[in-house]
C-alpha cells in the first residue's frame, strides 16, 4: 500500500514537471487539488476496506468498527498531508527559484521554519501544541510577505500581524474552554468520547477554534487580510499564501472535523457556498490575470472547506465525483481565462497600494462580527 | 473566582473596542496587548479550585497530600507559553510600526505621505 | 438632514463596535460565568503529572517539570517563536545606519542612573541567575530569569548611548545555549528512553538545589538563551 502511494505521487510529479516552467502557479493549484483528492480517496477506500468503520461522532455509535480507532484514520491523513505538503514545497521552490535567489537569507530561514510549523500542524495530536505550531506557521509567513523591501509590504505585514494575532488569541480561548470543562487537551481522547463531543461548551469552543482557522484560511467574510497581499504582493508571497495556506488549514480542518456539529456545520457550509459563488462570479467577470488569481484562491479555499467537511462526515462516494467535477471545472476555467504573469512583477501603481484609513478597524470589526454571529447562532440553536 | 472571570472579560472587551475604533498604530498594539492579557487571565482562572494552594510544595503537609491541596498546574504551564508568544507578536508589531513611521512620518495607518 | 448625517458618521465609528462589544460581552458571560462548572478536584491528567513530579523527579515546583518535560514541545516551540521574533526584528528594522546614528545623540541619562548602574547591575544579574537556577524550587524559572538577566544589561545600555553590546558574541552565546538545550533534551532519548525525559540525572531530595534531574541545567540554558534573545531585540530596536 505505501509503495503504491509513493509510486502514484512520483508519476503525477513526473507528468506535471514539464508543465511547471510554463505555468507555475497554476500547476501548484492542480497538484494541490490532486493530492487532496487522493488523500481523501485513500481514507474512504481504507475505511471501506477495513470494514464498518464509522466516525465516533456519528449519531449511531452502535456500529463502531471493532479495533479500528480514529487514530488510524488520522494517521492516514497525516501521511498524505506530509507527502502533499513536502512535494508542494519542492514544486514551489523549483518554480520560484529565480525569485528566491534575490531574496535575503532571513526569508529563507523563515521558509525553513515554516516547514517546521507545517509538519508540526499536521503531526500534532494536542490542541495547545497545535496553537503553538499555527503560531510558528503564521509568524514565519511574514518572511514571505516581507520578501521585498517596500512600503506596501510593511502595511500588509502590519495588517497580517494584527488579524492573525487576534485570531490566534481566539483559538486559544476555544482551547481553554475545552480544557475547563473536560480537563483534556488530546485529540484522540476528545474524538473518541461522545459525551465530550455532544456537550454544549464543546460547541462554543469549536466555534471559537473554527472561526480562527477560517480567518487564517481566507474564508468569505474574513478574507480581507489576504486580498492586498495577493493583489500587490511579490510573486513568491502570492503563490505561497494562495496555495500552501489553504492546503495546510484544510488538513487541520479534517482533523478538527469531529468538533463540527449541526449548526456549526450549516454555518460553515453556508459561508463557504457564498464565498464560492461570489468569487467564482468575480473570477469569470474579471479580465486581469492577477485579479482572477485572487478570486481563484478564495474560491479554492472554500471548495476545500466544503470538500473536507462533506467527505469526512458522509462516506458517500458520489460526493467525491461532485468534488472532482467542481475542482476540475475551476481548473479549466483558470486555464482558459487567466494568463498569470510568471516573470518578475511589474511595478504596482500607488493607488493600488493605498488603503482607506479605517481598513484595519473595519477588518477587525468584520472578524469580530463573524465570530459573534457564529456564537449567537450556536447559542440560539442549542 | 467569578470576579477574575469578569475582570478578564472586561479586559478582552476593552481590547476589542480599542482594536475596532483606534487608528493610531501604537494604540492598536496596546489594545492587542490588553486583549491578550484578558485571555491569559481567563486561562489562569480556569485552573483555580476553591481553598487550595499554589503548586509549590514547600511544606510537609503539601508534599504528603499534594493532589488534594494544590490548584491545577497545567493552565499555569499553558499561560507561561502564551505570554511569551504574546511578547513575540508584540515585538514584531512594534518593529513594523517603527518601519512604517520612518517611511511616512505618521503613526496612523492609511495616512501615507 | 444634519442629524442623519451625524448619525451616519457616528454609526460607522462608534455604534457598530459598541453593539458588537455588547453582544459579545453577553455571550462571553453566558459561556464563562453562568453555569460555570469549575473543577471539583484535579483533572486526571494533572493528577498524573503531580504524582510523577513528586515521585520520579522530586521537584518542589510542580509546574516546572510540566513545562519542561510533558509539555516540552510547547516550550520548544515557544523558544522557536522568540527566535523568529528576534530574526524578524533584525530583518524588519535594518535601514541605512548613518541616519539613525545621528538621531541617537540626545539620549543622555542623568547622573543618578549612571552612578546607580554600577551598584544595581551585579545585583540584578545575580537575582536573574537565582531565579532560573531555582526554577524547580520556587515560582519563576527560565523565562522570568532570562528577562531579569536581560534587564540588567538593558539598564547598562540605556544609561549611555555609546554603550554597545558585541553582537557576534551574542549570536555565538545564543546558538551555544540553544544547542545545549536541545542536547539536554536528546540525552533523555538516549539515556532515559524518551525525548525530553529528564530523569537521567539523579532526582535527589525535594527542596535541595541539586535535585529533580536535569531541570536546573535545562532552565539555566533556557534562561540565558531567552535573556540573550530579548537583549538582541532591544539592541536591534536602537538602530
SS3 sequence of C22-74: HHHHHHHHHHHCCCCCCCCCCCHHHHHHHHHHHHCCCCCECHHHHHHHHCHHH
C25 CB-near residues (< 8 Å, 6+ apart) = B9, B13
Which parts of chain A fold into alpha helices (H)? 2-20, 24-50, 70-95, 97-101, 105-123, 127-145, 151-182, 187-191, 194-197, 200-216, 226-232, 235-256, 262-285, 289-313, 317-337, 350-353, 359-381
What integer pLDDT is reported at residue C97 of this predicted model?
52
Given CB atoms, is A249 within the 8 Å cutoff of chain C? no
- Tens digit of each residue's pLDDT (9 = 90 or more) over B55-70: 888 777 777 777 788 8
Query: Counting one residue from A and one from B, how many pairs have CB atoms under 8 Å apart?
Result: 92
Under DSSP, the state recorded for B56 is B
Hunting for cell 458588537 — which residue is that? C20
Given CB atoms, is A364 within the 8 Å cutoff of chain B? yes
Distance from CA of C189 to the nearest CA of A (A): 19
A230 CB-near residues (< 8 Å, 6+ apart) = A238, A241, A242, A293, A294, A297
Interface of B with C in 15-74 (CB under 8 A): 16-17, 20-21, 42, 47-50, 54-58, 63, 66-68, 70, 72-74
CB C178 within 8 A of CB C79: yes
Nearest CA in chain B to C40: B49
Highest mean pLDDT, choosing among A66-80, A244-258, A355-369, C135-149: C135-149
- Tens digit of each residue's pLDDT (9 = 90 or more) over C95-152: 555 455 545 555 667 788 788 888 888 999 999 989 888 888 888 788 889 999 999 8
For a pLDDT cut of 90, what percent of chain C falls above it? Answer: 6
Q: Alpha-carbon distance C224 to C148, whole Å? A: 10
Q: Alpha-carbon distance A268 to A259, whole Å? A: 12
Planar angle of CA A108, A109, A111, nearest 5 degrees: 60
Average of per-residue pLDDT values in chain A: 70
Chains touching B (3+ CB pairs < 8 Å): A, C
- The values of phi and psi at residue A15, to 5°, are -70, -35
Whether the predicted pLDDT of A355 surpasses 70: no
CB atoms within 10 A of CB C80: 22
Out of B13, B67, B95, name the one closest to residue C92 (CB): B95
CA-only gyration radius of chain C, Å: 24
Given CB atoms, is C15 within the 8 Å cutoff of chain B? no
Is the ipTM value over 0.95, yes or no? no
- The values of phi and psi at residue B70, to 5°, are -110, 160
Out of A166, A354, A365, name the one closest to residue B32 (CB): A166
Out of A139, A151, A169, name the one closest to residue B103 (CB): A151
The three cell numbers locating residue A350: 500607488
Given CB atoms, is C89 within the 8 Å cutoff of chain B? yes
CB C107 within 8 A of CB C161: yes
Amino acid at each position: 500500500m505505501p509503495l503504491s502511494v509513493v509510486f502514484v505521487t512520483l508519476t503525477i510529479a513526473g507528468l506535471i514537471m514539464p508543465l511547471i516552467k510554463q505555468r507555475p502557479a497554476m500547476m501548484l493549484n492542480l497538484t494541490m487539488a490532486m493530492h487532496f483528492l487522493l488523500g481523501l480517496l485513500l481514507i474512504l477506500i481504507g475505511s471501506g476496506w477495513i470494514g464498518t468503520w464509522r466516525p465516533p461522532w456519528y449519531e449511531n455509535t452502535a456500529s463502531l468498527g471493532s479495533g479500528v480507532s480514529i487514530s488510524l484514520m488520522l494517521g492516514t491523513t497525516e501521511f498524505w498531508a506530509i507527502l502533499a505538503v513536502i512535494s508542494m514545497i519542492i514544486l514551489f521552490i523549483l518554480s520560484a527559484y529565480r525569485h528566491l535567489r534575490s531574496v535575503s537569507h532571513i526569508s529563507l530561514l523563515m521558509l525553513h521554519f515554516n516547514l517546521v510549523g507545517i509538519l508540526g500542524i499536521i503531526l500534532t495530536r494536542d490542541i495547545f501544541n497545535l496553537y503553538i505550531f499555527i503560531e510558528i506557521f503564521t509568524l514565519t509567513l511574514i518572511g514571505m510577505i516581507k520578501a521585498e523591501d517596500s512600503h506596501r509590504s510593511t502595511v500588509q505585514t502590519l495588517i497580517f500581524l494584527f488579524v492573525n494575532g487576534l485570531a490566534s488569541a481566539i483559538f486559544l480561548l476555544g482551547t481553554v474552554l475545552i480544557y475547563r470543562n473536560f480537563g483534556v487537551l488530546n485529540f484522540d481522547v476528545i474524538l473518541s468520547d461522545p459525551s465530550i463531543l455532544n456537550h454544549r461548551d464543546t460547541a462554543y469552543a469549536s466555534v471559537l477554534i473554527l472561526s480562527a482557522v477560517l480567518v487564517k484560511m481566507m474564508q468569505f467574510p474574513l478574507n480581507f487580510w489576504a486580498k492586498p497581499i495577493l493583489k500587490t504582493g511579490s510573486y513568491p508571497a502570492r503563490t505561497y499564501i494562495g496555495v500552501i495556506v489553504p492546503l495546510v488549514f484544510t488538513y487541520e480542518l479534517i482533523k478538527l472535523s469531529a468538533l463540527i456539529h449541526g449548526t456549526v456545520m450549516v454555518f460553515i457550509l453556508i459561508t463557504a457556498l457564498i464565498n464560492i459563488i461570489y468569487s467564482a462570479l468575480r473570477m469569470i467577470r474579471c479580465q486581469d490575470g492577477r485579479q482572477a488569481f485572487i478570486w481563484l484562491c478564495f474560491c479554492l479555499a472554500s471548495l476545500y472547506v466544503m470538500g473536507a467537511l462533506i467527505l469526512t462526515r458522509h462516506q458517500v462516494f458520489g460526493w467525491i465525483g461532485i468534488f472532482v467535477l467542481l475542482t476540475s471545472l475551476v481548473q479549466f476555467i483558470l486555464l482558459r481565462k487567466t494568463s498569470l504573469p510568471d516573470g518578475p512583477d511589474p511595478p504596482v501603481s500607488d493607488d493600488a497600494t493605498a488603503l482607506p484609513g479605517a481598513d484595519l478597524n473595519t477588518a477587525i470589526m468584520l472578524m469580530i462580527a463573524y465570530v459573534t454571529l457564529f456564537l449567537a447562532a450556536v447559542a440560539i440553536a442549542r | 473566582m467569578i470576579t477574575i472571570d469578569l475582570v478578564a472579560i472586561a479586559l478582552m472587551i476593552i481590547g476589542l473596542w480599542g482594536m475596532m475604533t483606534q487608528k493610531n498604530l501604537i494604540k492598536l498594539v496596546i489594545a492587542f496587548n490588553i486583549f491578550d492579557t484578558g485571555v491569559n487571565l481567563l486561562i489562569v482562572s480556569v485552573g483555580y479550585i476553591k481553598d487550595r494552594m499554589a503548586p509549590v510544595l514547600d511544606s510537609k503537609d503539601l508534599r504528603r497530600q499534594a493532589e488534594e491541596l494544590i490548584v491545577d498546574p497545567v493552565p499555569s504551564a499553558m499561560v507561561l507559553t502564551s505570554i511569551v508568544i504574546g511578547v513575540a507578536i508584540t515585538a514584531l508589531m512594534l518593529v513594523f510600526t517603527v518601519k512604517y513611521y520612518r517611511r511616512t512620518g505618521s503613526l496612523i495607518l492609511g495616512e501615507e505621505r | 438632514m444634519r442629524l442623519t448625517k451625524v448619525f451616519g458618521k457616528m454609526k460607522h465609528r462608534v455604534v457598530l463596535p459598541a453593539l458588537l462589544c455588547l453582544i459579545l460581552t453577553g455571550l462571553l458571560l453566558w459561556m464563562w460565568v453562568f453555569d460555570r462548572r469549575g473543577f471539583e478536584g484535579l483533572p486526571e491528567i494533572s493528577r498524573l503529572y503531580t504524582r510523577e513530579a513528586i515521585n520520579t523527579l522530586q521537584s518542589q515546583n510542580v509546574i516546572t517539570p510540566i513545562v519542561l518535560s510533558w509539555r516540552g514541545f510547547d516550550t520548544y516551540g515557544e523558544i522557536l517563536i522568540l527566535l523568529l521574533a528576534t530574526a524578524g526584528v533584525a530583518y524588519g528594522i535594518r535601514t541605512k545606519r548613518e541616519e539613525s546614528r545621528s538621531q541617537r545623540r540626545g539620549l543622555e541619562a542623568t547622573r543618578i542612573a549612571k552612578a546607580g548602574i554600577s551598584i544595581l547591575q551585579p545585583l540584578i544579574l545575580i537575582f536573574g541567575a537565582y531565579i532560573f537556577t531555582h526554577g524547580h524550587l520556587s515560582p519563576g524559572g527560565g523565562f522570568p530569569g532570562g528577562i531579569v538577566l536581560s534587564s540588567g544589561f538593558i539598564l547598562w545600555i540605556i544609561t549611555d548611548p555609546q554603550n554597545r553590546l558585541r553582537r557576534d558574541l551574542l549570536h555565538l552565546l545564543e546558538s551555544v545555549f540553544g544547542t545545549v538545550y536541545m542536547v539536554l533534551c536528546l540525552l533523555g532519548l538516549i539515556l532515559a528512553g524518551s525525548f525530553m525525559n529528564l530523569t537521567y540525572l539523579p532526582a535527589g531530595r525535594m527542596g535541595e538545589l541539586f535535585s529533580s534531574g536535569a531541570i536546573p541545567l535545562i532552565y539555566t540554558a533556557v534562561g540565558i538563551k531567552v535573556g540573550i534573545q530579548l537583549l538582541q531585540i532591544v539592541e536591534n530596536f536602537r538602530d
